[in-house]
Amino acid sequence: MIRKFKLLGVLLAAILLAISARVDAATDWSTNKIQVTGMGVPNPGLATTPAHAAMMARRAALADAYRQLAEAVNGVQVDSETTVEQMMLTSDVVRTKISATIKGAQIISEGELAGGGYSVTLELPIFGENNSIAETVFERPAYVEPFPMPAPDYRPPVVETRPSYGGYTGLVIDCRGVGQINFVMSPVIKNSNGQKIYGHKNLDYDRVIVEGMASYAQDMSQASRAGSHPLVVKAVRLDDLNANPVVSMDDADLILYENGQSHFLDNIAVVFLY
């Protein structure tokens, strides 16, 4: 019996160590999903049969997974100033919806562990038309705001850089070298004068809910969202707690001009390199 308790103690310690490592890495912004793995062990003093012990371990694993998922969801940054947790504190409606969303998370895998433990992996999409965080935290705007126009005196580059087969397919903003970008659900692109040239109010609400506003990638091999022939510009800095890329005035005008030709901003074909 003593050996059994020692084994359970070692297993529980390993579980707690693994949990502490997983909570920080639960949110994957490359896939826009939150995934956590909960683990549990039975209470040897209460389990009456091996089957009962397995049921207890599963319940404990589920409770642990839901707890981790709630922590991860609460920490998701909606925009540069607001987390999901802050929205829940100020809105009973959001709090109720988030609770229901977490309860509706999908079980990806589950199974028994050596020593009598149990593990359950839950997954929740940040964006998507079914049970996503975006459905809960984004409000439908009264109308879609048009994108700003380039400066009146702007002229496109003399050397034609636009692809000859219909224009740019997307936008890639290279944020490497100007700081560590803060991943958010609702990013903004600004010019160096502080004017917003891209935000959720410029976009179709239903598409934002399903697709999100931008993807985060470490290099161009992961920037497929921007298509095969993206316009690539370099960020000059990051604003608003490093959440929002800022581009030069010339690049901002170029982005807006080219968007008028091929509408890649409207199509949410935007990638930030970090």
Q: Is the pLDDT of residue 25 over 80?
A: no
Query: pLDDT at position 252, please?
Result: 98
Q: What is the pLDDT of residue 160?
A: 58
Residue range 233-246: mean pLDDT, rounded? 98
**DSSP assignments along 56-85, one per residue:** HHHHHHHHHHHHHHHHHHHT-BSSSS-BHH
Residue 262's pLDDT is what? 94
pLDDT category at 4 given cuts 50, 70, 90 is very low
Task: Give the list of residues 6+ apart from residue 104 with CB closer than 8 angstroms, or none.
Answer: 131
Q: What is the pLDDT of residue 185?
A: 98
Give me the pLDDT at residue 19, please. 40
Instruction: Quote the tokens at residue 25.
Output: 């890495």
Confidence band of 259 (pLDDT split at 50, 70, 90): very high
pLDDT, mean of residues 105-120: 93
Contacts of 170 (CB under 8 A, 6+ apart): 223, 225, 226, 227, 230, 231, 264, 267, 269, 270, 271
Q: First vs last Cα of the chain: how many Å apart?
A: 53
DSSP labels, 97-138: HHHHHHHT-EEEEEEE-TTS-EEEEEEEESS-SSS-HHHHHP
0.75 cut: is pTM over it? yes
Average pLDDT over residues 124-147: 94
- The answer to whether 99 and 74 have CB atoms below 8 angstroms apart is no
C-beta separation of 200 from 139 below 8 A: no
What is the structure's pLDDT at 181? 97
Helical residues (DSSP H) of the chain, grouped into ranges: 2-24, 50-74, 84-90, 92-103, 133-137, 205-211, 249-262
| pLDDT band at 156; cut points 50, 70, 90 | confident
Amino acid code (one letter) for 181:
I
168 and 108 in contact (C-beta within 8 Å)? no
pLDDT, position 21: 37
Edge to edge, the sheet with strand 189-191 lists 196-198, 189-191, 244-247, 237-239
Amino acid, single-letter form, for residue 98: I
pLDDT at 116: 87
- Averaged pLDDT of the chain: 89
Percent of the chain whose pLDDT exceeds 90: 77
Mean pLDDT value of segment 11-26:
45
